[in-house]
Amino acid sequence: MLEIKDLNVKLKKETLLEDINLKLLSGELNIIIGPNGAGKSTFLKSLIKIVDIYKGEIFLDNRNLTKSSINELSKDIAYMAQFNQNSNLNTIDVLEISRRKHSGFTLKNKDHDLIEEIIKEFELQKFLHRNIDTLSGGERQKIFLAAAIIQEPKVLLLDEPISHLDPKNQIEMLEIIKRKTKENNFITITVLHDLQNALHYANKIIMLKNKRIIDFQDSLNVDEKMVSKLFEIPCKLFWQEGHPFSFFGHSHDELHKNRHSHKKENNDT
C-alpha cells in the first residue's frame, strides 16, 4: 500500500499542493482528473522528489520514503513524464538504461531476459536500433512505458501517457497500463484529461482541484454532480454497454434547437 499523509508542496511562497491524504492499493489503476493548474503533474513529481515536499510523509508498505534519495526512490517508483526531451538514444539504449537502475553498469542475464520479453510483448523489434527522436509520438510513448515497466517498480507514475495520440494508440496504451498494473501488482497513478477514458479504465478516480483532493472514488461511483463541481461546468454522464460517455456545458436553447438535435433523423423516402 502507498499511503500519503498531509502532503504539502510549496515553491517559494506559492502553495502547489495542500493537505493531500490518500491510501492506494497494489494492483489498482488510480487516475487523477481535474482542471488545468490543479496540481496533477506536481503531485506525481512530489512522489519522486522532482519537486520538494514542504510538509507531510509518504509510506510504501509502512516504509517511510520521505527521507529517501531520488536514486533510492527510483528502485521502487518508475516515472514517465508528460514531455520527454529529445535525446540521441536508440530504443535499445532506453530499455537498457532503465534496467541499470537495478543492476548497475553491467546488465545481468535477468536484465537481458526482461528486456527481450518486453520487446516481444510491445512489438518493438523494428524500432530497436532507431533513434527515438525519429519515431512517432505513439511509438515513443510505447517505448517509454515499456522502459518504466521493466524497472519492476512497486509504484508506476504516468503523466498524460496518451496525450497527442490517436484513438487507436490511446486505447492500446490504456489497455497495456491496465493489464500490466494487475499482472505486476503495481500501484499505478496516471494523470488523464479524457474523462471517458478515465472512468472506463480506472479502478479509482482522484479528483484534484485548487491544489486539494476534493473526492476519491471507485470509478463506478463517480456521478454528474461530482464532475460538475470539479470542472465548474454542467456535466452529463451516460453508460452504454459498460462504456461511459460525458457531455460538458451542453444545452439546447431556442436559437440552436433547429440546427442541433440528438434525435435520429428519418431519412426514409
pLDDT tens profile 167-215: 998 999 999 999 999 999 999 999 999 999 999 999 999 999 999 999 9
Give pLDDT, residue 269. 41
Please state, in angstroms and as integers, the Cα–Cα distance from residue 93 to each residue in 49, 88, 105, 195, following that order.
Answer: 25, 9, 12, 34
For each of the domains in the chain, give its residue range(s) and CATH number, in order of start.
1-76+153-235 (3.40.50.300), 87-151 (no CATH)
Give pLDDT, residue 239. 87
Question: What is the pTM assigned to this prediction?
Answer: 0.89
Q: What angle do CA 46, 48, 144 make, to 5 degrees?
A: 120
What's the mean per-residue pLDDT of the chain? 89
pLDDT tens profile 43-99: 999 999 999 888 999 999 989 999 888 888 988 999 998 766 557 899 999 999 998
Q: Is the pLDDT of residue 4 over 50?
A: yes
pLDDT tens profile 209-247: 999 999 999 999 999 999 999 999 999 998 888 888 998
Please state, in angstroms and as integers, the Cα–Cα distance from residue 247 to each residue in 24, 94, 144, following that order.
Answer: 29, 39, 32
Give pLDDT, residue 253. 57
Give pLDDT, residue 165. 87
pLDDT tens profile 135-174: 988 888 899 999 999 999 999 999 999 988 889 989 999 9
Give pLDDT, residue 228. 95
C-alpha cell, 129? 536500433
Q: Is the pLDDT of residue 102 over 90?
A: no
Asked if 38 and 188 count as a contact pair (C-beta separation under 8 A), the reply is no
